[in-house]
Amino acid sequence: MTGTPFHIVDVFAEQKYVGNQLAVFRNAGGLSSDTMQKLAKEMGFSETTFLPSDTERDGAYDVRIFTPAAEVPFAGHPTLGTAYILRHEIIQKPVPRVTLNLKVGQIPVAFERQAEGGDIVWMTPKEAAFGETFDTREIAPLLTIRESDIDASFPIQSVSTGLPFVLLPLRSLEAVQRSGVIRDKWLNWVKDRQAKMLFVFCRETLDRAHHLHARVRRLLRHCRGPRHGQRQQLLRGVPGQAPLLRRRPDRCPGRAGIRNRPALAHLFASAGPRRNHPCGSRRKSSPDCTRKTAMTDDREQTACCGLCCGDCIPSHRPLFDAAERLRQELEKCQFGAYAKYKSKSNRAFDHFGAFREVLDAMLTLQCTKPCSQGGGRPDCPIRACAHGKGMEGCWNCTASETCTHLEPLSAAHGDTVRHNLRAIRQFGVEDWTHARSKHYVWTEASEQAPPRNHHQASNGQHHRVDLESMPWQSPAPGVRFKAWECNGSRLRLAEFTKEFIEADWCVKGHIGYVLEGVIEVDFHKREEVFVAGDGLFIPPGNEHGHKAKAITNSVTLVLVEDKV
């Protein structure tokens, strides 16, 4: 193997040693296909690439991609990682574009320099090819999920940008985590189909900045591996894909690989050419590009009045999907007749007609695009006023603090409109939503109002622990907590960021629950990952010594411990 150097690259990585691993072999022209296959198996990564030569052919570099079991015509993260090595290790010049000769044809990869350092890498794959669609009742028996877990808003369909997958939309993160294939049934079902791999995704995410959570469920040996880039490219072609994007309908950050190596990829979709946007790669990763990319949708989500369209109830697609499904099911089973029958024993069913009227009225409220794209009221006087003055929004107007057009909004939004306008002026319309106020006055009231029952105990103490009024304590960079102690026990609401580094091994015992984010706990080189919704139990003692670190930008959890 003398004279065949190789590089190890982390793709879709927000920091070193995460994301998708890739081995890139150079000067591989003298290797046989069999040797390449053996090397890919020896490396053990989901994919390994081989560059037969360091020189171009027909304006592009030849690249072959192997999984541990077979050669494949295309895969997302190997394309991006190999292009990175070509530019930084072979060309060694800041060229704006590198093109790869793959089995599917030429794939261009572009590099965009960031002001904070590092490059953003864009890939333009082949257009998605759509295959057959499948019925929920056909798919569900093959999997470890219930039929009700499948999101009927989108089709179950075979899609390919080089490798075919069966795309399965699910309703929740919990369903994604439970999803899997029943081996014998799945093998029998796919044996005569091109698509052998299952790709599951949902619109519920671990991080508000993301739009999708996705995983590949693999069974066959040649199906192993992350393939997040391939998955993102499949998603951009899903019929009716716009509702997938919770905020802006063109840039879509998606999370995958949480249980193994966290990976974050971004999708760019439009009516024209579409591109895949990874967060970074080894040596030149750009941790801040996640925040930067996630915030570029602020402008489109900003209404002329200063409200954030993504916070508006009419923009909440899952609510209207559920209402439509309920309406259809009520009609399908003729519930109106059943309600009339049941009203003889339960007078509440006398109001079923009124309930149906409310349900139908709800469906008329849905707004499918932000105000900046013509959504909302067609005759909105605020938008007409701003555009009539040649302004993008009210934040450009010096009279907004006293404008009478904004007054009617106070009934639902209180002082939020003027608060948001000040935030836009301070931070700019591209990056202001982190400072926005509560969208609705009743949301603010419900969060601030105390519970109706405090249940005072006989010793004069309340059963309710008022964490809201407690001050935050910050013993080290990247961590803060609120603590309540009683009878030798302590309850903590803790928040960690990636800045937190635990210097010493903790030997305290913990019982806890992860509210938001993803945290990794190292038990002396044995790592376990806990996601939102996971409980954790760590006994005290040196044998259970541990260190924790945040995988997502922030992690919130509740801990119950013995007071020390």
Beta strands 64-66 and 535-538, pairing class = unpaired
Per-residue pLDDT of 397-448, as tens digits, reads 988 888 999 999 989 988 889 888 988 888 788 777 767 777 888 764 433 3
Predicted confidence at residue 473, as pLDDT, reads 86
Give the helix, strand, coil percentages of the chain, each rounded to 5: 30, 30, 40
Helix/strand number for the chain, H first, E second: 14, 26
Residue 293 has pLDDT above 50, yes or no: no
| Two tokens, residue 410 | 């106070």
Residue range 137-143: mean pLDDT, rounded: 91
The CA-to-CA distance between both ends of the chain, in Å, stands at 58
Residue 228 has pLDDT above 60, yes or no: no
Handedness of CA 312, 250, 19, 500 (dihedral sign): negative
- The one-letter amino acid code at 308 reads C
Q: Active site includes 485?
A: no
∠357-361-364 over CA atoms, to 5°?
150
Predicted confidence at residue 457, as pLDDT, reads 37
Q: Which of 222-226, 250-254, 285-289, 526-530 has the lowest mean pLDDT?
A: 285-289
Residues with Cβ within 8 Å of residue 252, at least 6 apart in sequence: 211, 212, 232, 235, 236, 244, 245, 266, 267, 268, 269
Per-residue pLDDT of 323-351, as tens digits, reads 888 999 999 999 999 999 999 999 999 99
Quick check: helix, strand or coil at residue 410?
helix
Residues 336/338/339/343 CA torsion (nearest 10 deg):
140
Beta strands 510-516 and 473-476, pairing class = unpaired
Per-residue pLDDT of 414-425, as tens digits, reads 888 988 898 888
Nearest alpha carbon to residue 231 among 195, 194, 207:
195
* Mean pLDDT for the chain overall: 79
Domains of the chain: residue spans and CATH: 6-123 (3.10.310.10), 129-268+284-295 (3.10.310.10), 309-442 (no CATH), 469-562 (2.60.120.10)
Name 156's bridge partners.
Answer: 134
Predicted confidence at residue 332, as pLDDT, reads 92
Residue 221 has pLDDT above 70, yes or no: no
pLDDT band at 14 (very low <50, low <70, confident <90, very high): low
Q: Exactly one of 47, 300, 495, 561 is catalytic; which is it?
A: 47
